[in-house]
Structure 1
């Protein structure tokens, strides 16, 4: 069981590598604009993200008070339309669905899906009591402080991904949870995939709206 768990975790980590981003872009940091531990007033009252997909819609409550940098980054990207027309590019039934890669907009770049990002990285941010349980939204990353735009929604209780759990060094900050439409998330989790966990049918995020 532990061997399978570690294998699944490595899939998440390698699938969101930032290796294709130029060094100058990767060295930039979102938290230079939004200081760690402080939320921008412009996003403090907007706490819900509506995902409209070709499989149906669902809503996620964002943990703005507990995770100001991570949610601030997500909200900015969503408002900029960054996530619109991206796909859930990695699906592992019973484990998670992963999205947020701008390269997933392009079928011609399918061999690079999972490597894209916004051109910068943000610091890991953790809060006591937030765990990778079923229905939670978390940052995908390739190591400490390497998150950018990619995220995943847990399809099961994956608490071994939490910051205070051994043995993996890379951890996944939880910054929201599904509050409406979990059946849609679970439906997406049943889509057939290829050997790289890429869906055989497109699962398109048509729009993300911050409410």
Structure 2
């Protein structure tokens, strides 16, 4: 019996160490988004694999290159990725262009609309499936507990905002009323100043910037990603 228990313990240790090793080796993907208003780098979440893989695919196809940020709202978000925006006339209303397919919602309780997150736009569909290409980056603003209490009842269908997320919404900011309504699948890790600058752009009555803000998106190489992660770890140590 003791020998059996010892064997089971050894096997469980092997499986556990194997799992930990797999977690340590999990690759993070980063994209560089360059615009007329600066540049930012975003990490794509592995918890949302379908959205992550779709964004990587489009990036590698250079789909996003020369498209516009066609909708910007200060204190809320900046939106882009409409394929019809590439050659759009200055007065054209944008936002209806898409890929002809959607991506199933990938909601995750740990992923929420804090300042700087990347999320998928969508039309009004019951399944809350995401657009195949349009996305937004949250600029957001700070909210009070009272404001979030109201959102829980009116926009979140009674779903409670966890305490640690409330603290982030109060101190860093975001857009809590979007949680579990739109899929969050990444976040800005460097260059949030670009988002703030674009959000301040002068715009028309449809929230389209009066001066075109074009984008270029590319995937960081493994070498670039490792260098970035080393830099981010050093920054985190200084904060702690």
Distance 1:187 1:108 in 2: 23
Q: In structure 1, what is the equivalent of residue 138 of structure 2?
A: 154
1:198 maps to 208
Structure 1 residues 50 and 195, CA, compared in 2 at 3 Å: closer, same or farther?
same
How far apart are residue 45 of structure 1 and its match? 3.2
Residue of structure 2 equivalent to 1:145 = 129
1:50–1:208 CA contact under 8 A, matched in 2: yes
* TM-fit CA distance, 1:145: 1.3
Aligned twin of 2:65: 84
Q: What residue number does 1:127 align with?
A: 108
Write the deviation string for residues 42-91 of structure 1: whole angstroms up to 9, x where unpaired.
xx735101001111111001102x00001111110111111000010000
Counterpart selection for 2:182 from 172, 197, 205: 172
Match of 1:209 among 212, 218, 231: 218
Distance 1:110 1:58, change over 3 A: same
SS at match of 2:42: strand
Give distance in 2, aligned partners of 1:112 and 1:69. Answer: 29
> What residue in structure 1 maps to residue 44 of structure 2?
62
**Unmatched runs of 5 consecutive residues or more in structure 2:** 1-25, 141-173, 221-240
Alignment deviations for residues 107-140 of structure 1 (CA, whole Å, 9 cap, x no partner): 2385351001122111111112110111101000
2: CA distance between counterparts of 1:149 and 1:120? 9
Structure 1-normalised TM-score?
Answer: 0.72
Contact 2:113 2:184 in 1 (8 A): yes
d(CA) in 1 for partners of 2:120 and 2:64? 14
Instruction: Let me know the Cα RMSD of the aligned residues.
Output: 1.5
Greater helix fraction, Structure 1 or Structure 2: 2
- For structure 1, the 5+ residue unaligned runs are 1-43, 164-170
1:19-34 correspondence to structure 2 within 5 Å: none
Give, in whole Å, the separation in 2 of the partners of 1:133 and 1:90. 19
Distance 2:137 2:67 in 1: 15
- What is the aligned counterpart of 2:35 among 31, 35, 53? 53
